[in-house]
Amino acid sequence: AQSVTQPDIHITVSEGASLELRCNYSYGATPYLFWYVQSPGQGLQLLLKYFSGDTLVQGIKGFEAEFKRSQSSFNLRKPSVHWSDAAEYFCAVAPRSNDYKLSFGAGTTVTVRA
């Protein structure tokens, strides 16, 4: 069965520090991979996606993610967080055969302290 795991439920980071959010997936073949962010009072917003090619993907708001096939992981990183990065982050996958059907992880809540 396919699944998406985000091991960290909650992460607290200081403003200006680096951030890494973990995502592991279980799939028969390499799926399409996504990171979405959900801020309070706002809808989910796509940060970045991986389809193929370069395994380091750049996204919006200074985020990047690295696909590692051997580890079935797609971790999200940001070198220096801003207070506005406080939000809930979701990793999602979609099978290449049904690429509209996203499966989301349970999310990681990020708190940024001054």
Residue 63, both tokens: 């985020």
Minimum distance between the CB of residue 44 and other proteins, rounded to whole angstroms?
A: 4
Nearer to other proteins, 17 or 60 (CB): 60
Nearer to other proteins, 51 or 83 (CB): 51
Determine the Cα angle at 97 with ends 91 and 101, to 5°. 40
Nearer to other proteins, 35 or 112 (CB): 35
Whole-angstrom distance, CA of residue 74 vs CA of residue 76: 7
Minimum distance between the CB of residue 19 and other proteins, rounded to whole angstroms?
A: 19
CA dihedral 80, 4, 46, 9 (to 10 degrees): -50
Nearer to other proteins, 49 or 77 (CB): 49
Asked whether the CA dihedral 74, 37, 85, 64 is positive or negative, the reply is positive
Q: Could you tell me which of 106, 110, 102, 91 has the C-alpha nearest to residue 40?
A: 110
Minimum distance between the CB of residue 15 and other proteins, rounded to whole angstroms?
A: 26
Binding site for other proteins (CB under 8 A): 4, 32, 34, 36, 41-46, 49, 51, 90, 92, 94, 98-107
